[in-house]
Structure 1
Amino acid sequence: MKISELARRADVTTKAVRYYESLGLITPGRLANGYRDYDEDDVRLVREIRALHRLGIPVERTRPFLECLAAGSAYADDCPASLATYREAVDELTERIEALTARRTTLIANLNAAARRGSAVVPPAAHGDGEDYLTLPADLPTPEDDGAADHLAGTAMPALTLLDTAGRAIRLDALGPRRTVVYVYPLTGRPGTDLPEGWNSIPGARGCTPETCGFRDHFQDLLEAGAGRVYGLSSQDCGYQNEVVERLGLPFDMLSDPALGLAGNLGLPTFEADGMRLFKRLTLVVRDGVIEHVFYPVFPPNAHAEQVLSWLRENPLRGGAATAHSD
């Protein structure tokens, strides 16, 4: 067969085929007119090279696998030399992972330090109205599990795009294969701004700022436990959310959903306060576009980040899809 046919069947470019030939990995026959003539063995060899390269094994180091096939083995990794090449590749990959992990840890530490250094957190005494949003009243009512989130575990995230506080458009069904923690809350109080009337008496309403501070303080722990990203989400606009990120020194971004689109798409529980429709507090653990786990109701909010952290540690990913369930 011609080189174009080989390239098509092996799903590579003709340039790649010529490169493999230059390395002596494949040796085509020659027709009477001098043209190259490839056969089924060449197709198999090129496919093997492509598969190994996708695993991270350089083309130049695929020779032991090809020689194994040429020796009559049913599989390219039936030979000791092939296994040795696997081990070398694993060792090199492990070194790269360790180096990247160390760099990631340093970056997270720098991010946390920089965020807190520039934080403009207003101490309670400076509020002027006696309201301390960082402290929870001792008599807060406990929210009951009304079953409003029972349907969420195992549900696909909607193709809904929301803006984050970095100005990026985040599509909720494309958060990626790593776990994303999205804690959904009603609203954060702002110094000098009154909370809705009767806020403390609404089960599950009070505590958004302490909850957010908990996720801030445990951010690095959450990433080390397997969370790829953390987002806070409420119906407050991006300007309000940006103020929260700056004031509390958050190392993660917040999502704004003023139209409560997520509630409409997923049937999330909401409530009314001062004429506003607000999200009830809950947390979603999302993986591969599907809700893997749901925390609902959330109480106490100031300890919730630790609850999420404990779940992540108790349910590590082991390569396969995790079983979805809710609290």
Structure 2
Amino acid sequence: MRIGELAARAGVTTKAVRYYESLGLLTPVRLANGYRDYDEYDVRLTQEIRALCRLGIPVEATRPFLECLALGHRHADDCPAALAGYRDAIDELTQRIEGLTARRAVLVAQLHEAAHRNSRFSPANGEEPMTDYTSLPADLPVPEDDGAAAHLRGARMPQLELHATDGATISLEALGAGRTVLYIYPLTGRPGTDLPEGWDSIPGARGCTAEACGFRDHHQDLLAAGATQVYGLSSQDSDYQREVTERLRLPFQMLSDPAWSLARALDLPTFTTSGLTLYKRLTLIIKDNVIEHVFYPIFPPDKHADHVLAWLSDNAHRP
């Protein structure tokens, strides 16, 4: 058969076939007219070379496997030399993986150094740089009441289902009797992940982790004061929220609304930064599926759970 037919049957290019020949891996017969004549054995050899190369074994290192076939073995790796070829390839891959892992570690360290170089929070020697999201800078800008939540009191919760971090689906129109605390926040910080540029300068943006910790620490107090359940809600996906829930050991579930469905249904305030559309911070007290009270704007966020607890205590006997 001609070189084109061989290449097509073996799944390689004619250029690759010529390269195999230059290495002495293929030795076709030459016809009287000078053309190469390939047989079924050459197809088998070429297919073997291709399969070994796909495993990461260089073409030059396939010779022991081809020699094993030449000795009459059914499989190209039936010979000790072929097994040694596997081991050599594995050792080379291991060295490459170790080298890439070391390079990755250096890049991660460079990323942390660059991302946190001007942070207010400096790590101790030998510690991984990490922003302390639970502490708030003293000079955060105070958000102003822009009236974006004035229409919410008395509104019924919409027919909307959202995924929670425990895998359940929560129906917002059927939260049940009693008071539900639903605090809505923009974005929680995550170790090793940069916050949007200029985050601290956006009024009401910084403080989501501190706010979550406040609701965590007062969770039992909130229930004792009349709340039947507490939820956090943001536009982050459930996997992102689940990491926060586990890391902060939150005793309540987070609801994920990446499509801003609740914002559209209730005309909730949002803002855009670094290409992200995020919820503005606000909290809804929902009683019998109707919004009874709204906290907006919220500041400081690390004290917000105290304010919600105080309101619940003052209105515990309110019909």
User: In structure 2, what is the equivalent of residue 195 of structure 1?
Assistant: 195
Q: Please state how far the C-alpha of 1:131 moved relative to its aligned partner.
A: 1.8
Aligned 8 A contact 1:124 1:133 in 2: no
Q: Please state how far the C-alpha of 1:124 moved relative to its aligned partner.
A: 8.3
User: In structure 2, what is the equivalent of residue 152 of structure 1?
Assistant: 152
Cα shift readout 1:70-94 (whole Å, capped 9, x = no counterpart):
xxxxxxxxxxxxxxxxxxxxxxxxx
Whole-angstrom CA distance in 2 between matches of 1:124 and 1:236: 28
Report matched runs for 1:227-242 at 5 Å.
Answer: 227-242=227-242
User: In structure 1, what is the equivalent of residue 139 of structure 2?
Assistant: 139
User: In structure 2, what is the equivalent of residue 276 of structure 1?
Assistant: 276
Amino acid in structure 1 at the alignment position of 2:183: Y
Whole-angstrom CA distance in 1 between matches of 2:145 and 2:299: 11
Q: Please state how far the C-alpha of 1:129 moved relative to its aligned partner.
A: 3.7
Is 1:225 the counterpart of 2:225? The answer is yes
Aligned 8 A contact 2:130 2:191 in 1: no
Following TM superposition, the consecutive aligned residue runs of length 4 or more in structure 1 with deviations greater than 4 angstroms are 123-127
Whole-angstrom CA distance in 1 between matches of 2:123 and 2:158: 43
Cα shift readout 1:123-170 (whole Å, capped 9, x = no counterpart):
984883442111101100000000000000000010010010111110
Report matched runs for 1:247-266 at 5 Å.
Answer: 247-266=247-266
Identity %: 66
The CA RMSD over aligned residues, in Å, is: 1.5
Bigger CA radius of gyration: 2
Aligned 8 A contact 2:130 2:192 in 1: no
- Aligned length, in residue pairs: 197
Whole-angstrom CA distance in 1 between matches of 2:301 and 2:288: 27
SS in 2 for 1:174: coil
Amino acid in structure 1 at the alignment position of 2:294: V
User: In structure 1, what is the equivalent of residue 295 of structure 2?
Assistant: 295
Whole-angstrom CA distance in 2 between matches of 1:150 and 1:223: 26
Whole-angstrom CA distance in 2 between matches of 1:251 and 1:125: 29
User: In structure 2, what is the equivalent of residue 50 of structure 1?
Assistant: none
Amino acid in structure 2 at the alignment position of 1:300: P
Q: Please state how far the C-alpha of 1:177 moved relative to its aligned partner.
A: 1.1
TM-score, normalization by structure 2: 0.60
Q: Please state how far the C-alpha of 1:178 moved relative to its aligned partner.
A: 1.0
User: In structure 1, what is the equivalent of residue 179 of structure 2?
Assistant: 179
Cα shift readout 1:19-45 (whole Å, capped 9, x = no counterpart):
xxxxxxxxxxxxxxxxxxxxxxxxxxx
Cα shift readout 1:210-248 (whole Å, capped 9, x = no counterpart):
000000000000000000000000000000111011000
SS in 1 for 2:215: helix
User: In structure 2, what is the equivalent of residue 168 of structure 1?
Assistant: 168
Whole-angstrom CA distance in 2 between matches of 1:259 and 1:124: 36
